[in-house]
A and B are shown apart, each in its own frame.
Chain A
Amino acid sequence: MWKTILRRVLIMIPQIIILSILVFMLAKAMPGDPFTGSIGPNTDPKQIVALKRAAGLYDPWYQQYWHWIVNLFHGNLGESYTLKQPVTAVLGNRISNTIWLSLLTLIISYAVAIPLGMTAGRYEGSRRDRGIVIFNFITFGVPTFVVFLLGLFLFGYQLGWFPTTGTISADASGFIGEALSRLNHMILPAILAGILGTTSTIQYLRSEIIDSKSQDYVRTARAKGVPTNKVYSRHIFRNSLLPIAAFAGFQITGLIGGSIIVETVFSYPGMGQLFVSSITSRDYSVVTAIVLFTGILALLGSLLSDIIMSIVDPRIRIE
């Protein structure tokens, strides 16, 4: 199994190089340059050219790329134009906020979706199954921001059960106190986003189980005299969870990358929110850093999926 993982990690290296080139090219293609807007309109054009030359903007693209990469490895992603801070400092907290929120969302999503999907698949065609399918239609059909706004209004403002903005209360103290306060700020957006995110997992699991039920190995198990409940737990569910496990890696990166709406509605200072604000303020160095980061995250997600797969499915291990 270690061979499988090692091979998979090695494949990632060229992928990351290609990704970084793409991100660099996109950044180059964006209108304007670092001096646009930050230099007075009466400055001598010759002086601007001299400044640009000094900054290396007339060098061939590969030299500029190399320069950028070397800086990247030194943890230098440039400076945010609007916040006048290093990009790494701006991103740092935001990234961890988003990762925690996404993890909690994923856990809640699975905690809801897996039992529902199993029930729907096992009792296909029953009243329970139909109820779950209707639930699926609803979570799939309603616009997410409507649910977030309603939830925020009802549980945040009307009932006052949860905080409505931020990640932590000002009066939280101590490690446990801070952790609880953070959890308290995350819980409402995570529950709402988690429930809305159940659709594909439920639907996938349901059809996988219906499919597994008619597999020959299930018939073999039944012919051994294995009781129905055990046939489900030992044979059907395990095999049906395989594709779900394989998707977990993508799911988490999808959540991190797609956190824009939930973070904006709940004024949760995460990456998604930062992404939107830096696009509107044309803060390109931040945008580039976020795009690069989410790209790497997507690669890591697929690596994670492959690792999970090689753990749960003996067929794809390289011996």
Chain B
Amino acid sequence: MSEKILLSIKDVSTAFKINGEYYTAIDKVSLDLHQDEVLAIVGESGSGKSTLATSIIGLHNMNATKINGEIDFNGRDILKLNESEFNQLRGNDMGMIFQDPLAALNPLMRIGDQIKETLDVHSDMTENQKNARVHELIDQVGIPNPERVARQFPHELSGGMRQRIIIAIAIANKPELIIADEPTTALDVTIQAQILDLLKDIQQENHAGIILITHDLGVVAEVADTVAVMYAGEIVEQGPVDIIFNEPKHPYTRSLLRAMPTLDTENDDLYVIEGSVPSIKKMDRNSDLFAPRIPWVPVTPGHPEIKEVAPGHLVRGENWKYFKFKDEV
């Protein structure tokens, strides 16, 4: 992990317009990503992980979205870029890997053409060079017989192969930043491991910074350097991966880790966090948003702030100091 800060997110809030009113989906998120760093963002569905990623790569429908704050990428505030300036960045300096490989490829276009499209936009290679690069990329993501695959259509490939093609598209122009939004969720376990290995290889080769969005803590443990835990659109705990796994502080982080299935416990029952993430319309941002899901813990009034508890380790609120699970009380 290098010292160079690649991406610096400062107090970013994103709000969506629903029936004429704006609702905050992510609230004052601040994060730094270094070159060569794999930052995992974890949290349940609805916690704002994907909204954050989409805000970074600028793919929200801006007619119905408001983003405040600052996102510095290589020293430029990308929230101030216009659409065509942003288009030069997307696919070139930042690549995105999407969740659902079945839907993320155009069913009517040949695989090769879909990879080549990103070269068409960003490079001045000749047609032959582009074709050679396409074959090289397909080979790099571990698919045999690149010439044949380039001529095929998405429906002719398996899910794992399609996910590799999505990765090939994302890395085609050797971006410095790769955002991977649940890259392994739609795949079966054996393929998951292969895809994660592939991501790690690419990161080492290109010295890219990766933001990995996932709700799978097993994936986090395997590849991440740092972890940010999100709940209801804000970061509740953030730190190096070994600290988050070994000394988790925030009740949400601890609940998530406890809810992770393991083989070495005698108890067969999975831990379940009560309730669910509140809907965007019902979030009271003046309160501790996680409190309703641990009702046995006394509520502290007001909205808890995030504080550094050890170098590089940030935790929101104070109730972690006395938090105990229900069965431990």
Which A residues fall within an 8 A CB radius of B?
A: 215-217, 219-228, 234-235, 238-239, 242, 312-315
User: In the bound complex, do residue B105 and residue A220 qualify as a contact, i.e. CB atoms below 8 Å apart?
Assistant: yes
Given A223-B91, A224-B91: A215 and B103 interface contact (C-beta under 8 Å): yes
A222 contact set on B, CB distance < 8 A: 59, 90
Within 8 A of A (CB), among B90-107: 90-92, 95-96, 98, 100, 103-107
Contact of A226 among B95, B103, B105, B117 (CB under 8 A): B117
User: In the bound complex, do residue A239 and residue B106 qualify as a contact, i.e. CB atoms below 8 Å apart?
Assistant: yes
User: In the bound complex, do residue A223 and residue B90 qualify as a contact, i.e. CB atoms below 8 Å apart?
Assistant: yes
B95 contact set on A, CB distance < 8 A: 223
Contact of B118 among A224, A234, A315 (CB under 8 A): A224
- Give the docked Cα–Cα distance between A219 and B106 (Å): 10
A227 contact set on B, CB distance < 8 A: 84, 87, 121
User: In the bound complex, do residue A217 and residue B84 qualify as a contact, i.e. CB atoms below 8 Å apart?
Assistant: no
Given A219-B59, A220-B98, A315-B153: A225 and B108 interface contact (C-beta under 8 Å): no
Q: Is B194 an interface residue (CB 8 A)?
A: no
Q: How far is the CB of A92 from chain B (nearest CB, A)?
A: 41
Instruction: Beyond the given A225-B121, A225-B122, A234-B109, please list 4 additional residue pairs across the A-B interface where CB-CB is below 8 A.
Output: A220-B166, A222-B59, A222-B90, A315-B153
Q: Is B169 an interface residue (CB 8 A)?
A: yes
Q: Is B257 an interface residue (CB 8 A)?
A: no
Contact of A225 among B87, B104, B105 (CB under 8 A): B87
Nearest-neighbor residue (CB-CB) of A212 within chain B = B106
A313 contact set on B, CB distance < 8 A: 107-108
Nearest-neighbor residue (CB-CB) of A218 within chain B = B106
User: In the bound complex, do residue A238 and residue B98 qualify as a contact, i.e. CB atoms below 8 Å apart?
Assistant: no
B109 contact set on A, CB distance < 8 A: 234-235
Q: How far is the CB of A6 from chain B (nearest CB, A)?
A: 21
A221 contact set on B, CB distance < 8 A: 106, 117
A315 contact set on B, CB distance < 8 A: 107, 153, 155
A312 contact set on B, CB distance < 8 A: 108
When A and B form their complex, which 9 residue pairs have the shortest distance between CB atoms, in order from nearest?
A: A225-B91, A216-B103, A224-B91, A225-B90, A224-B118, A217-B106, A223-B96, A314-B153, A216-B104
- Give the docked Cα–Cα distance between A204 and B90 (Å): 32
A239 contact set on B, CB distance < 8 A: 106-108
User: In the bound complex, do residue B59 and residue A225 qualify as a contact, i.e. CB atoms below 8 Å apart?
Assistant: no
Query: Chain A CB within 10 Å — which of B89, B108, B170 has the most?
Result: B108
Nearest-neighbor residue (CB-CB) of A220 within chain B = B104
Q: How far is the CB of A127 from chain B (nearest CB, A)?
A: 14
- 20 residue pairs of the A-B complex, CB under 8 angstroms, read A215-B103, A216-B100, A219-B104, A220-B104, A220-B105, A220-B114, A222-B59, A223-B57, A224-B90, A224-B169, A225-B87, A225-B122, A226-B118, A227-B87, A228-B83, A238-B108, A242-B108, A313-B107, A314-B108, A315-B107
Which B residues fall within an 8 A CB radius of A?
A: 57, 59, 83-84, 86-92, 95-96, 98, 100, 103-109, 114, 117-118, 121-122, 153, 155, 166, 169-170
B57 contact set on A, CB distance < 8 A: 223
Q: How far is the CB of A253 from chain B (nearest CB, A)?
A: 26
Nearest-neighbor residue (CB-CB) of B103 within chain A = A216
- Give the docked Cα–Cα distance between A56 and B100 (Å): 68
B84 contact set on A, CB distance < 8 A: 227
- Give the docked Cα–Cα distance between A222 and B155 (Å): 21
A216 contact set on B, CB distance < 8 A: 98, 100, 103-104
- Give the docked Cα–Cα distance between A234 and B106 (Å): 10
- Give the docked Cα–Cα distance between A217 and B83 (Å): 19
Q: How far is the CB of B10 from chain A (nearest CB, A)?
A: 23
- Give the docked Cα–Cα distance between A55 and B171 (Å): 80
B117 contact set on A, CB distance < 8 A: 221, 224, 226, 234
Q: How far is the CB of B74 from chain A (nearest CB, A)?
A: 16
Contact of B105 among A217, A223, A228 (CB under 8 A): A217
Q: How far is the CB of A318 from chain B (nearest CB, A)?
A: 13
A224 contact set on B, CB distance < 8 A: 90-91, 117-118, 121, 169
Q: How far is the CB of B151 from chain A (nearest CB, A)?
A: 11
B96 contact set on A, CB distance < 8 A: 223
Nearest-neighbor residue (CB-CB) of B107 within chain A = A315
Given A221-B106, A228-B83: A314 and B98 interface contact (C-beta under 8 Å): no
User: In the bound complex, do residue A220 and residue B153 qualify as a contact, i.e. CB atoms below 8 Å apart?
Assistant: no
- Give the docked Cα–Cα distance between A234 and B113 (Å): 11
- Give the docked Cα–Cα distance between A225 and B161 (Å): 23
Query: Chain A CB within 10 Å — which of B91, B106, B169 has the most?
Result: B106
- Give the docked Cα–Cα distance between A220 and B95 (Å): 10
B92 contact set on A, CB distance < 8 A: 225
A238 contact set on B, CB distance < 8 A: 108
- Give the docked Cα–Cα distance between A216 and B182 (Å): 14
Q: How far is the CB of B158 from chain A (nearest CB, A)?
A: 15
User: In the bound complex, do residue A226 and residue B87 qualify as a contact, i.e. CB atoms below 8 Å apart?
Assistant: yes
Q: How far is the CB of B81 from chain A (nearest CB, A)?
A: 12
Contact of B107 among A217, A219, A226 (CB under 8 A): A217
User: In the bound complex, do residue A219 and residue B98 qualify as a contact, i.e. CB atoms below 8 Å apart?
Assistant: yes
Query: Chain B CB within 10 Å — which of A216, A219, A220, A239 has the most?
Result: A220
Nearest-neighbor residue (CB-CB) of B101 within chain A = A216
User: In the bound complex, do residue B155 and residue A225 qualify as a contact, i.e. CB atoms below 8 Å apart?
Assistant: no
A223 contact set on B, CB distance < 8 A: 57, 59, 90-91, 95-96, 98, 170
- Give the docked Cα–Cα distance between A221 and B96 (Å): 10
B155 contact set on A, CB distance < 8 A: 314-315
